Chain A
Amino acid sequence: MLQKVAIVDVAQTNHSERLEDNIREIVFELVKQLLDRLGIERSDIGSMISSSSDYFQGISCSNSYYYDAAGANLKSGSKTPEDSALAFIYGLMRILSGEYKTVLVVSITKCSEVPSVHTLTNLIADPFFQRPIGLNEVVTAGLQAREYMDRYGLTKEQLARVVIKNLGNARNNPYAHRSGEFSIKDVLASPIMVSPLREMDIASTSDGACAMLLAAEEVAKDLTDTPVFVEGVGWSANSTFLGDQDLLNGSLPLAAKMAYRMAGVKDPLQEIDVAEICDTTSFHEILWLEQLGFCRPGEGGRLIDEGITTISGKLPVNPSGGLMGANPYVARGLIRIAEAALQLKGEAGNHQVTNVNKALAHSVHGLGGQLHSVVILGK
């Protein structure tokens, strides 16, 4: 990093199956909440990067709808759609350039307002080859899980343990809306949705929004006693056709390598104190942990079996409950970063992990996990 950039503060909605309010109102309330808490005005914001998805909003050029609601009237801004973690990274670049001292990053998705995520992610597939056979994100997840389980012998009980952990953690997260104390029997009783994955293995979708203020170091220190510094970022894309991808070894290792190198992390399992990753399915939490270098390929099941990823384990993963707890699709990446920041600030309340000095946030979208990002945060 050329200069230090910090997350000053974060705000989230109470994510929900369905938020009653209109998108503009939700964004306004959230941004206002953040500004008021910091005691600043919208005139103090240098630039605004937002993230939403036109197809997930039913409004083309989706950011035009809430641009001024996010405090950006007569200000510079941009939209990094589809994955809000990438919007965060773009915001970071604007501050690193020296042109802006503060950048507001905002993301919102109301999955309740649009067709099923399965219909919408089917539209990601090209119209000639992959769309007509019904490929979408969850179907591809099934293909990946099958390949992995056959190769490495991962069991449905191991998958269930991830579900139980995350929904259990979500009980202590006031922003999550799906939670509960479940048994392996409960999870295995849910119907197969895309074999070998069951309904409970798959994170459903939500309505939710997140806002975050980034600032150059000197400004951040003025605004908060607990600035969270960005130590490394990495992101990487994979090929479009599923047949061209190695479904079990995609672009996440490259994204992770870039972030670790920037952050000077050599041994992730030792150096990272908490990780918020996109558990699009229970299986994917396991796969992503391997590709993030927390264990070798095929060993991901061991992490959950040995309790390593529980909130009191060596590497707590998704103490917030992850996507199982709340999944407002596009906003989820920024929420992972927000949750990681709360851990570092010591503001994660009942789902606070002890002794956090370095946190990792991960996001992903596309068939098979076509585009991943990794953000390393520190104190």
Chain B
Amino acid sequence: MSEESRILKGYISLPYRWAMGVTTTRFFEEFKNKKIMGTRCPKCNRVLIPARSFCSHCFQKIDEWVEVGQGGTLRTWVLINFSYEGQPKEPPYIIAIIDLDGASVGLPHFVGGVPTDDIEETAKKVRIGGRVKAIWKENREGNILDINYFQPID
């Protein structure tokens, strides 16, 4: 008898329908209008983005909507230079966490409009603490990718 051990191949792909809830839905509606909305917790005074229906620190429902800035500073960034299945873009591309003006928490998103082929060149334009601003897509669908990327403006 052979000592072989074969491989069985297969896929598990299943369809999903994720409920956004009223707050996230409204957040994305405002996105279509190029507005970035947060909600403020009256107890701790933090402005949370994306807009949330509850503050997890004070553990209470919140519903005071506040618009935050189109720009902010880069908290940190990374250049992605490898591939894997289900990736949002063809590498190389840049992801960062942005502290938008007026928001108490950061927002992860893409950084674009800068060279990505040579990390030395990239690092000249993309810096922690650097100012960035949102560049919106022409056709917006009400999802997080309506912002095409954040562009360094220093």
Does residue A39 face the partner (Cβ distance < 8 Å to B)? Answer: no
> Chain B, 69-103, contact with A by CB distance < 8 Å: what is the 0/1 string?
00000011111111011111100010111010001
Q: Which residues of B contact A98 (CB under 8 A)?
A: none
**A22 to B143 CA separation, bound complex (whole angstroms):** 42
Q: Is the pair A58, B95 in contact by a Cβ cutoff of 8 Å?
A: no
Contacts of B80 in A (CB 8 A): 134, 139, 142, 194
B16 touches A132 (CB 8 A): no
- Bound form: Cα–Cα A258–B16 in Å: 39
Residues from chain A with a CB closer than 8 A to the CB of B12 are 58
Q: Which of B24, B109, B119, B144 contacts A192 (CB 8 A)?
A: B119
Report the number of A-B residue pairs with Cβ-Cβ less than 8 Å.
117
Q: Which residues B43-89 have CB closer than 8 A to chain A?
A: 48-50, 56, 75-82, 84-89
- Residue of A21, A128, A135 touching B18 (CB-CB under 8 A): A128
Also in contact, A128 and B119, with CB within 8 A (given A119-B86, A195-B78, A242-B108): no
B42 to chain A, nearest CB (A): 18
Do the beta carbons of A146 and B77 come within 8 Å of each other? yes
B5 on interface, CB distance cutoff 8 Å? yes
A244 at interface, CB cutoff 8 A = yes
- Known interface pairs A133-B110, A133-B144. Does A119 touch B95 (Cβ–Cβ under 8 Å)? no
Residue of B nearest to A194 (CB): B78
Q: Flag whether B114 is at the interface (Cβ < 8 A).
A: no
Q: How many angstroms from the CA of A289 to the CA of B49 in the assembled complex?
A: 31
Which residues of chain A are near B144, meaning CB under 8 Å? 128-129, 132-133
Question: A118 touching B95 by the CB < 8 A rule?
Answer: no
B48 CB → nearest A CB, Å: 8
A194-B78, A194-B82 known; A128 and B5 CB under 8 Å? no
Assess the B76–A146 pair: CB atoms within 8 A: yes
Assess whether A243 is in contact with B16, with CB atoms less than 8 Å apart.
no
* Pair A242/B5 contact, Cβ less than 8 Å: no
Given contacts A20-B5, A128-B24, contact A241 B105 (CB under 8 A): yes
Residue in B closest to A118 when the chains form the complex, CB atoms: B84
Report the interface size class on chain A: 35 or more
A139 engages B95 (CB within 8 Å): yes
Shortest C-beta distance, A160 to chain B (Å), equals 17
By beta carbon, the residue of chain A nearest B145 is: A132
**Which chain B residues numbered 110 to 154 have a C-beta less than 8 Å away from chain A?**
110, 119, 122-123, 128, 143-145
At the interface, yes or no: B20 with Cβ under 8 Å from chain A?
Answer: yes
Interface residues of B in 1-47 (CB under 8 A from A): 5, 10, 12, 16, 18, 20, 24
Q: Which of B18, B50, B96 touches A143 (beta carbons < 8 Å)?
A: B96
Return A127 CB to nearest CB of chain B, in Å. Answer: 5
B105 adjacent to A243 (CB under 8 Å): yes
C-alpha spacing A132/B144, complex, angstroms: 7
Query: Known pairs A129-B108, A134-B93. 19 more at Cβ < 8 A?
Result: A115-B84, A116-B85, A122-B87, A128-B50, A128-B144, A133-B88, A133-B95, A139-B78, A139-B95, A142-B80, A146-B78, A192-B119, A194-B81, A242-B108, A243-B49, A243-B106, A243-B107, A244-B48, A244-B106
7 closest residue pairs by CB, A with B: A243-B106, A142-B78, A147-B76, A118-B84, A195-B79, A116-B84, A243-B105
Q: Which residues does B use to contact A, with CB under 8 Å?
A: 5, 10, 12, 16, 18, 20, 24, 48-50, 56, 75-82, 84-89, 93, 95-97, 99, 103, 105-110, 119, 122-123, 128, 143-145
Could you show 20 A-B contacts with beta carbons less than 8 Å apart?
A22-B5, A128-B20, A133-B145, A134-B87, A135-B108, A139-B78, A142-B79, A147-B128, A192-B79, A192-B81, A192-B119, A193-B82, A195-B122, A199-B82, A239-B56, A242-B97, A243-B49, A243-B99, A243-B106, A247-B76
